[in-house]
Amino acid sequence: MNPQLARHLDWFASLSPQTLDDIDAVYAESATFRDPFQQVHGRDAIKALYANMFRRLQAPRFVIGEVVAQDDKAFVSWDFRFELGGRAQQIHGGTLLTLAADGRIAAHRDYWDAAEGVYEKLPLVGALLRVIKRRMA
């Protein structure tokens, strides 16, 4: 694995409010980030997104799984673990990373099931989604 990619993944695995200031070594200044709910442009916007995560959630952390890397691209599977309202939560997903010429992340695209990760946990919407899933199975 590319040594810079390995350092970036170590940063994600140990991400905390204290390590957030190291983001300059991880993301290119004009990097993009996209997930099922948002799209932001620029390292400062990405930093603000992570800072917001630490304000809203208790004990958020990424557990890195498999990594498939080739040239300037990598796909990384992960589990995002956190607490919300005193209850442990987990979202399983994957990220496609594109590295810039200097090895920092130029594009970060998260893929995860928003229905499973968020909507199914809501009382009314979750019940409806579970019924639909059962009928489709």
Quick: pLDDT tens for 73-90: 999 999 999 887 788 888
Task: Please tell me the predicted confidence (pLDDT) of residue 112.
Answer: 83
Strand, helix or coil for residue 19? coil
Closest residue by Cα to residue 33 from 112, 98, 109, 113: 109
Summarised one tens digit per residue, pLDDT across range 56-77 is: 889 999 999 999 999 999 999 9
Q: Report whether 32 contacts 40 (CB < 8 A).
A: yes
Q: Report whether 105 contacts 31 (CB < 8 A).
A: yes
Task: Please tell me the predicted confidence (pLDDT) of residue 114.
Answer: 61
31-35, 103-107, 126-130: which range is least confident on average? 126-130
Q: Which domains does the chain have, with CATH numbers?
A: 3-112 (3.10.450.50)
**Cβ-Cβ contacts under 8 Å for 15 (sequence gap 6 or more):** 50, 60, 61, 62
